[in-house]
Amino acid sequence: MSFGVWLIWRGFDRIGYHWQWYRIPEYFYRVDNGKITLGPLLQGMKVTFQISALSLVLSFIFGLGTALLRLSEGFISRLIARMYLELVRNTPLLVQLFFIYFVLGPIFDIDRFMSAVLALSLFEGAYASEIFRAGIVSIAKGQREAAFSLGLNTAQTYRHIILPQAIPRMLPALVNQGVSLIKDSALVSTIAVYDLTMQGQIIISNTFLTFEIWFTIAAIYLVITATLSLIVNRLQKRLKANRY
């Protein structure tokens, strides 16, 4: 860590870069006439939270639905799920984002915010579906057979028997997918959604505080993802404790 800091400092010292960290706080908040107002970085972070939270919920819904389709006995259901997975996982997220915003957006009247949410949800949902499928398959078949013998239908079996046992096993992988979604949300700036990354680009274009702003944005993303991982790790420990 110390060596890395020294290496960065030496690199910028060689190119004669003058740090201006004292200017960063004004882009978090301002005090006008005794009233605190959010700066562009906090405004952008608010938009990032909104997009990430909504996309995370939808991606898990898409992921679980796709996993159930793949595990169903219907040929059409499995085919639809497979086509969705192959299409989404084998094309770049940026291309999908542009397609939804510039092609589907005008047709279905989808604004840039919802275009960003839809693109992230579909992209991350494709990867989450494999996590859900693996978690469901990991549950012994005897559990399902026992549920059917008790008179439960398929939906009741998944709700009361399979998913409650599978979710704790899937949590670490789902957290990693959530972290990936938060970082991928930076791409929504390409369609002029004023998230954290877009606000940073605007500040840089006006002030030329290139490295200070980018390092600050990177630190914000690090704090967000590390906090998410910490919360879920504690939740996972609590779930394990309740099981025994």
Decide if pLDDT at 92 tops 90. Answer: yes
For the chain, the average pLDDT equals: 88
**Hunting for tokens 């839809």 — which residue is that?**
118
CA distance linking residue 193 with residue 116, whole number of Å: 8
Decide if pLDDT at 153 tops 60. Answer: yes
Q: How confident is the model at residue 51 (pLDDT cuts 50, 70, 90)?
A: very high
Just give the CATH number of 41-243: 1.10.3720.10
pLDDT tens-digit readout, 188-220: 999 989 999 999 999 999 988 888 999 999 999
* Residues near 24 by beta carbon (within 8 Å), at least 6 away in sequence: 209, 212, 213, 216
* Residues near 8 by beta carbon (within 8 Å), at least 6 away in sequence: none
Q: What is the pTM of this model?
A: 0.88
